[in-house]
Structure 1
Amino acid sequence: MRDYRKIYVDGCWSEPQGGRSHEIVNPATEGVAGHITLATAADVDRAVDAARRAFRTYSRTTREDRLSLLNAVLAGFAARRQDLADALVEELGAPAKFALEAQVGTGFLHLATGIEVLKSFAFETQQSSRTVVRREPIGVIGMITPWNWPINQVMCKLVPALATGNTMVHKPSEVTPFTAHIIAEILHDAGVPPGVYNLVDGDGPTVGAAISSHRGVDMVSFTGSTRAGIDVARRGAETVKRIHQELGGKSPNIVLEGADLQKAVGENIYRLMMNSGQTCHAPTRLLVPNARLAEAKAIAAAVVQGVTVGDPNGDVHMGPVVSKRQWTRIQELIRKGVEEGASLVAGGEGRPEGLSQGYYVRPTIFADVTNDMTIAREEIFGPVLCVLGYEDVDQAVAIANDTDYGLGAYVQAADDEAALVVAERLEAGMVYINGASEDPAAPFGGYKMSGNGREWGPMAFQEFVEVKALIRRDAA
């Protein structure tokens, strides 16, 4: 049983000034795995005060100072990789191998990539003969991070914020807070100065709202649902602070005529089912030529049989989804898909056979889906795939772009050049060509209601700096 009821403010663990105890449920067992305290706005005030004091000195540190600090964090992170993975299995229900290699692995990549970016990041450039442009830290960053990739989403904000000289007040998800507490311990042991990083547990309406509206917070970096992102933006607008967001997605995967359909469908299914479908840019809409729909259904039905679901401590592809609330919502949307006329190729309502406890969802594939159906438009955030047909490339692009979101997209073709022609027409921040994997140096973010700004790699650093022009007089 984990006891994380203290918050981390000004370099030490302390009791919150009020709040209430909150149980963290293991989604595989439905039992209590630990406790945190849902803190209050007064705790946010205290954390912001500490961050503002720390900013006066930390913002003046050199590139070399920050490189040394980030290398110490990297060493500490590496030493505690297994601790982080074990916590993920408990709080998220992530399969053990996936937790260690993918969830923890992405955090390690963000640290290593950030260190390389910092070595050559241009904090100052000569714009003209009279003007120098400087990139300076913004100030106090409010970080609000989600439950689905809790290490990834902390590190892809924390690393560029630290590297560019900012200080932070962080609210992790109250659903998966264990890993954030371990990261705070890593930062403390690495020698991050008091007040530079502060952790305040809490819910969105209390701690999240306090961070978003706080006059002492200069920027909010938020990852979560589009609905919550809109609320953060509204609260932040009152103080005209910068709002940096990575929100929802409903990513299309267009399989072009001539592509290897067996490979494309198989890759799509495993990419979606990874993390139990709880990934914002997962390929949830599979578009195939109408003439090959029957073939695609048959392939999908066969492939999904190989997706194993069960105890995350075992050798499985999928554990449970994160919570009862999430499980119930996914069940409702599966039911809605059937009611609206989509055909079940695999899965459906209820738990997988043999699993009577835990928030397990059956890997589900719908065919005969049209883009006006609820399951094709809403972000289900579970292991549910919609297969849609199209007549020609123009219709495929139109269907792909017919969504409020624009985070990710995928294109499968006989060769990369054919895929790139279609990729250029898609309204998405990231387009993956022929099964391409993630690139930690590539900008991560979306179009439309999928957010504002970018994370990952060099472009993330630009999000965490202010730009100042130093303009000299004309020469006499």
Structure 2
Amino acid sequence: MRNYLKFYIEGKWVEPATPKTLEVINPATEMVCGQISLGSISDVDRAVNAAREAFTTFSQTGRKERVELLQRIVAELDKRHEDLAKAITEEMGAPVWLAQRAQAAMGRAHFITAIQVLENYKFEELRGTTLIVKEPIGVCGFITPWNWPLNQIACKVAPALATGCTIVLKPSEIAPFSGQIFAEVLDAAGVPPGVFNLINGDGPTAGAAISSHPGVDMVSFTGSTRAGVEVAKNAAPTVKRVSQELGGKSPNIILEDADMKSAVVDGVRAVMMNSGQSCNAPTRMLAPQTRMDEVIGIAKAAAEATTVGDPNGNAQIGPVVSEAQWMKIQRLIQTGIEEGASLVAGGTGKPEGLERGYYVKPTVFANVSNNMTIAREEIFGPVVSILGYDTIDEAVEIANDTQYGLAAYVSGKNLDKMREIASRLRAGQVNLNNAPMDLMAPFGGYKASGNGREWGDYAFAEFLETKAILGLTQ
């Protein structure tokens, strides 16, 4: 049983202003596995004040000092890798293999990337007699999600520290364990007091206090579009910068000349990974009508071959994060059936033999039209919807017919054609032929999927203000 009842403020572990606790549920067992304290407005005030005071000094540190700090953090992350992976499996149900190789590993990877960017980043540029200077924006409030908990913490904290900002972090109260260990990592790495602060709490209280606080200069939020709208509303009166990575309903256009088996299997696996709880998952598979029967057969086999079970075992996917999430997914699967989509694999209820735990059957729908609920709403579960198209223009029109624009996928053999299709897709990131992840590529969305960019050098821009000094040379 984990008991994380203190907050990390000004370099110390401190008691909350008002004792209030929340039980954390292990989604694989449905049993309480720990508890955290829920922060109040007073706790947020204390953390923000510590960050503001620390900013005066930390913002003036040099490149070398910050590179060395990030390197120490990487060293401490290496020491705690196993602890972080175990915490992620326990708090949100990621299988051990995924927690170790991806979930925990991505935290380290973002710090390595930030070091590489920082070593060569141009913070100053002389244009004639004017010096353009990029300076740290100030105190940053981070509100992070439960689906990739360490990844989303690290991809914000690493560039913020690299640019000289100070931080108040509120991890998800549903999956808070990895955030607590992360704070221990930063403490062990010698982050100066007040530069990084951690408050646990819920969105309506601690989250709202951070996003509305006049002492916070920018807020970065990852989560649902609905919650992102509330964050933006809370931030508006203080005119702070808001960066958001929100929902997605990403199209996966499979062209007629694609290696159909590879493209369809990769598409299904990409949705199933992490139990479908990835905002950029290619949940709408767009297939040519001329090859639809073949696509459905391959997708059905791929879903049925996906093993579900105890995340501490050898299953490919574990449970979804909570009962509320499980109920939402069940409701949407049932809605797909009622609206006339063809259930090809999976369906409602738990997989056979898994009565305890929030497990979902790997599900595939065919004969889906883009006006159906399962094609419009973000399900955030292991559910693939297959839609047909007759022409490329129709495929692009269907792909773009969504409120979201986080990611898109295209599979085929003609790269020139794929490049042209990519230029027409309204999404922040387009993946061709299952290309490998690029940590230097900007990650973020169009439309209701957000308004900022994370990862690599593009992440630095979110944490910098631009100043022009005129007449420097005369």
The question of a shared fold, defined as TM-score above 0.5 by the shorter chain, is answered with yes
Q: Which runs of 5+ in 2 are unaligned?
A: none
1:81-113 CA-to-partner distances (Å, cap 9, x unmatched) read: 000000011001100011000111111110111
Distance in 2, matches of 1:255 and 1:158, equals 36
CA pair 473-308 structure 1, distance change in 2 beyond 3 A: closer
1:333-386 CA-to-partner distances (Å, cap 9, x unmatched) read: 000000000000000000001111000000000000000000000000000000
Distance in 1, matches of 2:471 and 2:329, equals 60
Distance in 2, matches of 1:5 and 1:299, equals 49
**Counterpart position of 2:222:** 223
**Counterpart position of 1:252:** 251
**Counterpart position of 2:122:** 122
1:138-183 CA-to-partner distances (Å, cap 9, x unmatched) read: 1100000000000100000000000000000010000000000000
SS at match of 2:194: coil
Q: Does 1:325 align with 2:318?
A: no
**Counterpart position of 1:285:** 284
**Counterpart position of 1:262:** 261
**Counterpart position of 2:236:** 237
Map 1:387-406 onto structure 2 (within 5 A).
Answer: 387-406=386-405
Map 1:21-32 onto structure 2 (within 5 A).
Answer: 21-32=21-32
**Counterpart position of 1:5:** 5
Distance in 2, matches of 1:214 and 1:356, equals 44
Distance in 2, matches of 1:19 and 1:351, equals 37
Q: CA deviation at 1:418?
A: 2.4
Distance in 2, matches of 1:244 and 1:84, equals 26
Letter in 2 for 1:22: L
Q: Which runs of 5+ in 1 are unaligned?
A: none
Q: Does 1:111 align with 2:100?
A: no
Q: CA deviation at 1:303?
A: 1.5
SS at match of 2:122: coil
Contact 2:67 2:118 in 1 (8 A): yes
SS at match of 1:283: coil
Identity, % of aligned positions: 58
Q: Does 1:58 align with 2:58?
A: yes
**Counterpart position of 1:75:** 75
Q: Normalising by structure 2, report the TM-score.
A: 0.99
Contact 1:11 1:188 in 2 (8 A): yes
Letter in 2 for 1:270: R
Distance in 2, matches of 1:391 and 1:178, equals 48
Q: CA RMSD in A?
A: 0.8
Q: CA deviation at 1:39?
A: 1.1
Letter in 1 for 2:217: D
SS at match of 1:72: helix
**Counterpart position of 2:91:** 91
Letter in 1 for 2:157: L
1:34-66 CA-to-partner distances (Å, cap 9, x unmatched) read: 000111010000000100010011111110110
Q: CA deviation at 1:406?
A: 0.2
Contact 1:19 1:40 in 2 (8 A): no
Contact 2:365 2:386 in 1 (8 A): yes
Letter in 2 for 1:347: G
Letter in 2 for 1:200: I
Contact 2:131 2:472 in 1 (8 A): no
Q: CA deviation at 1:19?
A: 4.3
Q: CA deviation at 1:417?
A: 2.5
SS at match of 1:175: coil
Distance in 2, matches of 1:27 and 1:474, equals 62
Letter in 2 for 1:163: A
Map 1:318-397 onto structure 2 (within 5 A).
Answer: 318-397=317-396
Q: CA deviation at 1:450?
A: 0.4
Distance in 2, matches of 1:160 and 1:470, equals 25
Distance in 2, matches of 1:116 and 1:182, equals 24
